[in-house]
Structures are given as structure tokens and as C-alpha cells.
Structure 1
Amino acid sequence: MSILNIMWAGGSAFASVQKVHQQILSHAVCRAPITTWLLQGRSHESEPAVEWNLSSARLKGRHLWKLLMPWMRARFQKALPDDLEVVLLDGVGVARVMLPVLKDLPHVRAVVVFHGATRMRRADQKLFAQLPAAQLTLVAVSQTLAHTIERFLQRPVTVLRSAFDPVAFRAAALSRAQARSRLGLPLEASPVLGAVGRLVGGKGFGCLLDAFSGVSAVHPDARLVIIGEGDARPALEACIAQMGLQDKVSLPGHLPDAATLYRAFDWVAIPSTQEGLGLILQEAVMAGVPVLTSELAVFREQLADAGWYAPSDDAQAWGRLMERAFATSAEGVLEAQSRALAPEQAWKDFSETSQRLFSCR
């Protein structure tokens, strides 16, 4: 028997999704061999995968590619391992490609993991209805996301709130001095606000820059570091130059060791306009750094009244939140957020649910 993990794409932009899948699969009860397929992108040497190198147009059946969908799915079916028992699918995009293949293989169980908000179609209701409950399990990384999917698909959705082993995570984290050295920050710089994520519009980093620009006039020693890469980099760099913040804001790009660097910061900001869960929140709090987040249901689900919130895309509100944070001792805020997040219990729940999902027959 074997397990197949099918991802939409590889690369740094999808690193968090890949991390979640690796964590889930590490809890498979049976010691079946696991193979990963990447429909797009390249795999890392440390995580080898079968690369299909298919375009988005081809995978989505756009234009003339629609005529070749049966042929492409036949290729997928032929490539499936003979002893395949469980397939882990990365979201609705991969489900649209693979469920038509798997519906003719009743002995193969499919687990679809939804990582974030997605545009569901009426055709998706029909697609998911083709597989019986015994063959298809739907999973969402937060209760908020699960409710949304359940309402649309009219099928039960298991909540698997992504989590990390807090003991291992903390052990891997660099000290404050080491992390600041890695990021080129002076040890005495204060306060330092950090942010981590892809440089795209939905992460709210433009709003964060606007807010920080106002606050830096009152706190001239404050620094902002945004770790990540993406299409919005030129626009963000232009804003930094226009605001004269070149000496106060840095964009170090994608850093593979970003999860070890949180202790360089006094606070971590997550100004996203939408999130499926927001792994940055968990990582920061586990590393010992309190967070400032957008007023999103998925963040309240995790932090409740311990969260410090501002409306997304409201630079003035974010500025006020920063001012309040910079004038407050982070220690008490962190203690409350750690109690609310309960990382040890979250890891236990995640482990047990993952084991149930991948208990081989």
C-alpha cells in the first residue's frame, strides 16, 4: 500500500502549504511509502517529487486544452501506483483535476485539504457529490474555513487546525542576537516590527507601510522588516523610497530559515485581508513574540480576546495599534496570547486528527 501527496505547485510561494502537508503525512499510522506529485513548479532537493510541469491553462482546461482533459486524466490514472490507498489533495484546484480520475477507483480514498478562501463554483458541488463519503474526506485548516465550505458543498468538513510541535519549533529558533545578526539589525534597535509572507496584495503590506510611515515619525528608532518575495515587491520598494523609509524598512526577500528568526522582533504584524489560518500567528507566538493582526474571524478563532486587532486595509487603525503596542510591555500580551493559542494542545489535536485521516486499512 502507498500514499500519494498531490500539490498544485512547488516553490517558495507555496512553502507554507507544503509544510502543512508534510506535517499531516508525518502522522500517517501505517508506514506506507509516500510519493509527492507537483503539477507545477520545481521540487526542492530535500523534498524530491514527481514534476509534471503543466501550465495553469492546461490544468484548468482553458481554451483548446479543454479538449485534451480526458487524455491528461488518463495519463494521471496510468501513473498512479498500483498499491495506492490514500491520496492527499492540495485544495480545490487539485481536486478539480484529480477527483474525476479517482471516482473510478473506489478502493482509493481521497483527502482534500482546504488551506484558504477559494472561489467555489456550482460545478464543484456536482464534482464533490460524485464520490461517496467513504471515499472522500474534506478537511479545512480552521473552523472558520470549514463552516464556509460546508455551507457551499453541503458535505461535512473535518477541522484540522494546522499546528507545529512547539518543543521542536522553539528549539530550532535562533536567539534574539543571532536572529538580528542574520537580518542585519543592530541588537539595540527598538522597537522592531516584523512581518512574514508573500509580497502580494492580499497580505496587506502596503497598508502596513502606510501605517508604519506615520508611526516612525513619533518613534524614529523603530524598524520594520518584511520577510518574503512576490510580485508586489516593486510597488512596496517604490512606497519605501517615496516615504523616505529606506533606513527604517527592509525587504530581505524569501528566507528559507524565516521560521527561526522571529525572536529578532518585538512584535509581529499580520495585516492580511484574508487567511485560511495564518501559520505566521502560530509561529510567532510559539517563538515568544506577540502578534498584531487584522480583524479576521480566523484570527479571533485562535486568539479570542487576547488578540490585538485592526481592520484590514485601514492604515490609520493600524497606526494606532502600532502606537499602542510600542507603548506596552510585550511580555503580558504574549502570555495571554500563548494561553489562548495553547500550542501544546493544538499540536496534540492536530496529531490525533491526522492519524485518524491516514490510518491505512
Structure 2
Amino acid sequence: MNVINIMWAGGSPFVSVHKVHQQILSLVPPEISVNSWLLQGQGAACVPGPSREWNLPQRLIKGRHVWGLLQPWLRARLRKALIEAQADALLLDGLGVSRLILPVLRGLPEVKATVVFHGKTRLHPRDVALLCGFKPAQLSLVAVSATLAASLQAELGLKVTALRTALEPTRFCDEQLTAQQAREVMGLREPGVRIMGAVGRLVMDKGFDYLIDAFAAASRTQPDLRLVILGEGPERPLLQQKIQALGLQGKVSLTGHCDILGRLYQAFDWLLVPSRAEGLGLVLQEAVIAGVPVLCSDLPVFHEQLGDSGLYARVGDVQEWAAAIERCASLPATAVAQAQHRSLAPEQAWECFSRTLREMWAVKPDSGSQ
């Protein structure tokens, strides 16, 4: 069986998406061959196994304006490549990739596809028609959380399987740097401070804009607090301006993207996740597995993972977040982290994730395997 893992691109904006696909593909049986295609840009090192970088212009992939006239040519090229690769199944990275690839499969009914939804997606009527135009035997839809799966299923009227992404906890913990090592990597050498961390791409949905406002208020009564935001993105200039306007230089750091980000969680006393929307929020899992307590937005997907052990604050509510940050500073962090670890149950979550994927990747007798 030959599986083609088709993704948008590599690089820091897609780190969390690549992590999800890496976890899914890590459980592929050895008798299945996997190749990854990156439609745009570089980043072959981000994906497992052999890979191909197509380096397609974004306007061509999306078919915008006059570029739409070239999409039939592109799809013909992709069809030829799939036939040459003897693809039996495709793993598609969300709706954007699916819009390009799924029309190709109308002429290849023997090729099965699985679309992985990573977050809330704006579905146009043509998207619904595209997804509904395939039989369940050829097209499967999965979402990275039960919350996201239920939302998509209600909107589409199609079955969407909840495949709550999980990390292999033992390996993840073994890769963690100590708190001192992690702080050295990030250049955090100020003694006697408590570090509140935040991780994610610098975009509006991550909520770092109002988090900085909340931290400014909390730090007036907690002068030993520091906020470190790990990530890169288009909102950096606006966030930097806010830091300067609030006089938070030296207290709030935008440290940029780090290739070993997943090993640095123990640098933080708390992780703050102020997202306005999330499909899963993998950083929450990473922090809890690493033994770091989490304060997060009051989103259903976070309740799904932490239940009553979670500490929540309303999305965008600066006063509530400021009060919650102050409260965190006085709570027993170790006890909170342990309670959240029990709720997340990483070992059981990984076993459930693995079992579901083993069933998904099971090689059927008619698949051509020996």
C-alpha cells in the first residue's frame, strides 16, 4: 500500500500541523510506504520518509483570478504524479489542500482519501458540495478533537471521526530540557523571577494581544512575573508596539521561533493559552505532559481535555485574565500540574489514539499487500 501525505507547506507557521501528521504517520505499519508532498515552499525535513517539494505559487494552488485558468493543467499534472506513485491512499492537510486535490480523485475512484481538519474552517457552499460528492468508501473526514468533529459534522451533515491527537508521553518527557537548561537556551538568566510562558504563532487567533494587556495589569501587583512568548508571525510589530506603549520592556519578551520549542516547557512556571479559537491546542497537551500547569481560554476544546482541573478565563476579557494570572502566582503549581495530568491522562490518550490509527491503517486483503 502506498500512502501520499499531502500538505500545504513547511516552516514555522505549520509546526503544529506537521506534528499532528508526524504522530499519525508514526503509527503506519512498516509494510505501508509513505511519501510526503509539500505543495508550497520548502520544509522536507519536517515530514517523515521520502518527500517532494512542489514549490507551487499560492495563487495557483488557490486558483485566484487568472491563475484559476491554470488549475486544470495543475490537476492534470497532479493526477499523473499520483498514478506514477501508484498511490492507494492520500492523507490531506485540511480544507485548503482538499480543494485542490479532491477534484483529481473523481477520475481515480480506486484512490482513497482522508482529510484531517486541524481547526474551525469557514465552509463555503462549494466546499460542502465537494465533500458531499464522494462516497464514504472513498473519502473519510477526521478532526483533531471531539469538539471540532461535532461542529464540522453538524455543519456538513457528514460523518466526521474524532481523532484527538495525542503525544507519546514517555518519549516527549525524555526529550525535555531541565528548567535551567531551557532558560539558558532562551537567554533567560534573571534570578528570582517567575516565568509565564505562551507558545504559538503570532496571529490574532492566538490572543497574545489581550494577554499582554492582562499581564500588564497583573504585573503591577506581582512585579516578579515575566512573560515569554515563543513563536513568530505577522502580529509581531503590533505586539512589540504594545509592549513598548505599556512600558513592559524587560518584562515581556517575544523570543521568536525556536526549532526545539517542544523541549523548552520546563522553563515556564505556568503556560498561558489565551486562544480565541482552537481545533485542539497541542501546546496545552505538551505543557501538561511536561509537568507545567496551564491557564487557558474558556473554550470547549480545552474543557474536553482538562475538565474540572483546568483553570479558565473568558476569551478576550482582560480583567478576568489579569485576575487569573495573579491567582496562578499564588496557587501550588505542582499540585495543579498533577491534577491536570490526571485529567488529560496522556498514557490512555496515546493508547486510544494509537488504537484508532492502527484500525485506520489496517491493510485489507484486497489492498495489494502480500
TM-score of the aligned structures, taking structure 2 as reference length? 0.95
1:325 counterpart letter in structure 2: C
Q: Secondary structure at the match of 1:195?
A: strand
The residue number in structure 2 matching 1:62 is 64
Shift of 1:129: 1.9
User: Is structure 2 residue 307 aligned with structure 1 residue 309?
Assistant: no
Partner deviation per Cα, 1:100-144 (whole Å, 9 max, x = no partner): 111221221101000001101111221112211111110000011
2:142 counterpart letter in structure 1: V
Contact 1:43 1:49 in 2 (8 A): no
Shift of 1:43: 1.4
User: Is structure 2 residue 11 aligned with structure 1 residue 11?
Assistant: yes
Cα RMSD (Å):
1.3
Shift of 1:46: 6.0
Q: Secondary structure at the match of 1:84?
A: coil
Shift of 1:32: 2.1
Shift of 1:168: 0.3
The residue number in structure 1 matching 2:227 is 224
Shift of 1:203: 0.5
Contact 2:10 2:46 in 1 (8 A): no
2:18 counterpart letter in structure 1: Q
Contact 1:37 1:50 in 2 (8 A): yes
1:299 counterpart letter in structure 2: F
Which deviates more from structure 2 when the two are superposed, residues 43-52 or residues 75-84? 43-52
> Aligned runs of 1:80-229 on 2, under 5 Å?
80=82, 81-186=84-189, 188-229=191-232
Contact 2:112 2:138 in 1 (8 A): yes
Contact 1:86 1:358 in 2 (8 A): no
2:303 counterpart letter in structure 1: R
Contact 2:202 2:208 in 1 (8 A): yes
1:356 counterpart letter in structure 2: E
TM-score of the aligned structures, taking structure 1 as reference length? 0.97
Measure, in 1, the Cα distance between the counterparts of 2:193 and 2:336.
Answer: 17
* Gap runs ≥5 in structure 1: none
The residue number in structure 2 matching 1:345 is 348
Contact 2:215 2:322 in 1 (8 A): yes
Shift of 1:186: 2.9
The residue number in structure 1 matching 2:23 is 23
> Aligned runs of 1:66-77 on 2, under 5 Å?
66-77=68-79
The residue number in structure 2 matching 1:79 is 81
The residue number in structure 2 matching 1:248 is 251
1:22 counterpart letter in structure 2: Q
Count of residues paired in the alignment = 361
Measure, in 2, the Cα distance between the counterparts of 1:300 and 1:275.
Answer: 12
* Gap runs ≥5 in structure 2: 365-370
The residue number in structure 1 matching 2:336 is 333
The residue number in structure 2 matching 1:238 is 241
The residue number in structure 1 matching 2:41 is 41
1:17 counterpart letter in structure 2: V
Measure, in 1, the Cα distance between the counterparts of 2:30 and 2:97.
Answer: 24
1:255 counterpart letter in structure 2: C
